[in-house]
């Protein structure tokens, strides 16, 4: 088993914006000074600190707010803030997550800059003992710096490029053109691809494959621009396809045979994972932990026969799937829907089981008796509709689609964390899978499709879709014949042939094809907002599929620049220069 990187924060002073909440080593934050980075231990802790900046957004409400909320695939649940979904006045330059994400990303960039500058000159005695090791650590920092800038430029548009690492407070920065930010990202990632090792002893560190995957995505993003100026070059699609195929060909990675196993608890470090952000079980190092298990869960414990438990999770009810997300699958042939969602809850509370009444009991002798018992089905969610009369006659609580609400809906199961300390715990310790091979196939396929090489694109997509099909001998869920119209005689038959697509399927509408396929394969993995922005389809698709997002306007393709940043600039330009359109 690979060792884990335990992420800690080692620097907290940059841009005059960043505040340090925790320092998880023995040395206090106030003792960390510039000379500290003249030591091997200090620099290595700074390297680790850069990795730590991944954990805050990727294990919290920030990542789904920026990545899944307010899209065509996910809309609001009953609880929590709704500004990012509704695109209302609360999505403003003063919104806490807007500034929090900005600060975290720049904190990572600044610390990476310090490492990149100082590692070459450090006398290596215990840690940085060879030039090769130094090159690899610098490449890790350039990979992470590129990732941070990639998130920034997609989220905020024109953003400052930090020319160096700062210990002192600095408040004089100008926003760089989007195309220049992309040049900076690509330069970093090209170096990372050349210098990173194929594998690392420590799990969680950047590798050549991770850099190739990310660089492929960056090239594809730049090439996708039509109305926007991202500085695209004629070779971008070739580069995107080539890099993705390098990852696909690597013996380091392989698709999981079963889609369900990718996110199965305890299996996050499978061969499909290219790069994951790691969390620890030790609460001393885990901080707030990975909280993603909280946000996609329906209010199951509000129903008869149920109470909250560790296995089913703590239901924060932040997001629920749209009808588009539910229907984008051919659920009869594509296993990914029922392998992504929890639809059934088993009775774990014998004290509040619903009672049969005279009007609906199957027989007179059942009137006044419990509808079910402990370990029977208590709650069942379906994507089919039902009448009140039909619902009342079920021997469990049935929630058909026409009864979906902010409390009741299919629960995404990718983040459920039965390893939490107790049923009230918000801190989780599952790794956050950031890059995986299933997406790499889709990156390569889309690049070829945009080049007009539709058969190559279809061949790559079909590898992913073959995995998504039901296999010969695999028993399909009961919904196959009770909800989806399948024949019970076909319960164990393969659907691989039905799942294959043709070049013509792709060429008919490349953008919509890949938006649909990414919605199926990457459901709930917090890429959706960025996909829609990348393909310049955000407003169109959100208006079409997310009725709660009625406030969306064209300017919402960018997030507001944090007011806190603008107010602290020493020599700010006019507000129209410092702030994105629509937010001033």
What residue has token string 């195929």? Answer: 245
Backbone angles phi, psi at 460, to 5 degrees: -70, -45
Per DSSP, what are the bridge partners of residue 381? 399
What residue has token string 């070459």? Answer: 120
Are 148 and 167 spatial neighbours (Cβ–Cβ below 8 Å)? Answer: no
Closest by CA to 263, choosing from 436, 476, 67, is 436
Q: In this predicted structure, what is the pLDDT of residue 33?
A: 56
Helices (H) and strands (E) in the chain, counts: 22, 11
What residue has token string 């829907």? Answer: 337
Sequence-distant (≥ 6) Cβ neighbours of residue 433 within 8 angstroms: 262, 263, 268, 273, 276, 525
Sign of the CA dihedral with 344 first, then 350, 352, and 358 last: positive
Fold of 1-175+548-584: 1.25.40
Radius of gyration (C-alpha) of the chain in whole angstroms: 25
CB atoms within 10 A of CB 428: 26
Secondary structure (3-state) at 277: strand
Query: Which string of b and e fits 94-126 if b means at least 16 CB within 10 Å?
Result: ebebbbbbbbbbbbbbbbbbbbbebbeebeeee
Secondary structure (3-state) at 55: helix
Closest by CA to 56, choosing from 7, 115, 117, 3, is 7
Sign of the CA dihedral with 200 first, then 206, 211, and 214 last: positive
- Between CA 273 and CA 262 the distance in angstroms is 8
Closest by CA to 346, choosing from 300, 294, 285, 394, is 300
Per DSSP, what are the bridge partners of residue 436? 273
Are 492 and 474 spatial neighbours (Cβ–Cβ below 8 Å)? Answer: yes
What residue has token string 């359109």? Answer: 581
Are 366 and 391 spatial neighbours (Cβ–Cβ below 8 Å)? Answer: no
- Between CA 144 and CA 427 the distance in angstroms is 25
Q: In this predicted structure, what is the pLDDT of residue 573?
A: 94
Backbone angles phi, psi at 326, to 5 degrees: -70, -40
Q: In this predicted structure, what is the pLDDT of residue 56?
A: 87
- Between CA 411 and CA 518 the distance in angstroms is 19
N- to C-terminal Cα separation, the chain: 52
Token pair, residue 310, equals 């560790």
Q: Within the chain, what is the greatest distance between any pair of CA atoms? A: 86
User: Residues for the chain: how many in total?
Assistant: 584
Q: In this predicted structure, what is the pLDDT of residue 282?
A: 66
What are the Cα distances from residue 64, in Å, to 18, 219, 536? 22, 24, 20
Sequence-distant (≥ 6) Cβ neighbours of residue 500 within 8 angstroms: 462, 465, 466
Q: Is 503 exposed, middle or buried (0-12, 13-18, 19+ CB in 10 A)?
A: middle
pLDDT tens digits in sequence order for the chain, 584 residues long: 334 443 333 333 333 333 333 322 323 333 445 677 889 999 999 999 999 999 989 989 999 999 999 999 999 999 999 999 999 999 999 999 999 999 999 999 999 999 999 999 999 889 999 999 999 999 999 999 999 999 999 999 999 999 999 988 889 999 999 999 999 999 999 999 999 999 999 989 999 999 999 999 999 999 999 999 999 999 999 999 999 999 999 999 999 999 999 999 999 899 999 999 999 776 656 678 999 999 999 999 999 999 999 999 999 999 999 999 999 999 999 999 999 999 999 999 999 999 999 999 999 999 999 999 999 999 999 999 999 999 999 999 999 999 999 999 999 999 999 999 999 999 999 999 999 999 999 999 999 999 999 999 999 999 999 999 999 999 999 999 999 999 999 999 999 999 999 999 999 999 999 999 999 999 999 999 999 999 999 999 999 999 999 999 999 999 999 999 999 999 999 999 999 999 99
Q: Where are the domains of the chain?
A: 1-175+548-584
């Amino acid at each position: 088993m690979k060792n884990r990187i335990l992420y800690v924060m080692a620097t907290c002073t940059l841009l005059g914006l960043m505040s340090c909440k925790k320092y998880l080593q023995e040395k206090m934050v106030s003792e960390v000074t510039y000379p500290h980075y003249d030591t091997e231990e200090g620099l290595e802790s700074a390297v680790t600190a850069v990795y730590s900046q991944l954990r805050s957004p990727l294990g919290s409400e920030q990542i789904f707010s920026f990545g899944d909320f307010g899209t065509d695939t996910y809309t609001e649940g009953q609880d929590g803030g709704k500004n990012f979904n509704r695109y209302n006045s609360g999505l403003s330059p003063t919104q806490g997550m807007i500034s929090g994400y900005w600060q975290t990303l720049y904190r990572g960039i600044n610390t990476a800059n310090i490492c990149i500058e100082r590692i070459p000159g450090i006398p290596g005695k215990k840690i940085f003992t060879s030039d090769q090791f130094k090159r690899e650590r610098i490449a890790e920092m350039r990979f992470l710096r590129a990732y941070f800038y990639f998130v920034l430029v997609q989220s905020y548009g024109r953003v400052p490029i930090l020319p160096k690492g700062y210990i002192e407070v600095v408040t004089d920065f100008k926003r760089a053109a989007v195309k220049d930010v992309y040049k900076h990202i690509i330069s970093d990632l090209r170096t990372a691809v050349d210098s990173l090792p194929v594998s690392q002893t420590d799990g969680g560190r950047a590798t050549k494959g991770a850099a190739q995957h990310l660089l492929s995505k960056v090239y594809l993003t730049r090439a996708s621009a039509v109305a926007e100026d991202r500085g695209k070059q004629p070779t971008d699609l070739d580069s995107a396809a080539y890099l993705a195929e390098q990852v696909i060909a690597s013996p380091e990675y392989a698709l999981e045979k079963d889609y369900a196993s990718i996110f199965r608890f305890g299996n996050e470090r499978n061969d499909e994972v290219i790069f994951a952000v790691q969390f620890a079980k030790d609460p001393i190092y885990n901080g707030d932990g990975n909280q993603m298990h909280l946000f996609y869960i329906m209010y199951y414990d509000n129903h008869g026969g149920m109470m909250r438990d560790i296995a089913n999770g703590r239901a924060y009810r932040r997001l629920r799937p749209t009808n588009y997300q539910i229907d984008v699958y051919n659920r009869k042939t594509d296993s990914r829907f029922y392998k992504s969602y929890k639809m059934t809850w088993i009775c774990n509370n014998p004290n509040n089981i619903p009672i049969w009444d005279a009007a609906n009991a199957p027989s007179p002798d059942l009137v006044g008796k419990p509808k079910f018992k402990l370990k029977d089905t208590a709650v069942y969610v379906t994507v089919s509709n039902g009448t009140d009369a039909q619902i009342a006659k079920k021997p469990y609580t049935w929630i058909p689609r026409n009864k979906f609400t902010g409390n009741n809906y299919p629960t995404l199961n990718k983040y459920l964390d039965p390893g939490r300390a107790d049923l009230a715990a918000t801190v989780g310790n599952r790794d956050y899978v950031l890059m995986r091979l299933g997406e790499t196939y889709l990156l390569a396929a889309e690049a070829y499709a945009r080049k007009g090489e539709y058969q190559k694109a279809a061949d790559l997509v079909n590898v992913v879709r073959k995995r998504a099909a039901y296999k010969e001998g695999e028993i399909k869920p009961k919904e196959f014949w009770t909800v989806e119209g399948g024949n019970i005689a076909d319960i164990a038959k393969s659907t691989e042939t039905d799942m294959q697509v043709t070049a013509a399927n792709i060429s008919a509408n490349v953008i919509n094809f890949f938006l649909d396929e990414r919605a199926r394969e990457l459901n709930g993995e917090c890429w959706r907002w960025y996909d829609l922005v990348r393909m310049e389809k955000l407003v169109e698709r959100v208006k079409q599929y997310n009725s709660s997002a009625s406030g969306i306007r064209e300017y919402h393709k960018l997030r507001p620049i944090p007011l806190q940043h603008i107010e602290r600039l020493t020599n700010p330009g006019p507000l129209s220069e410092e702030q994105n359109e629509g937010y001033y």
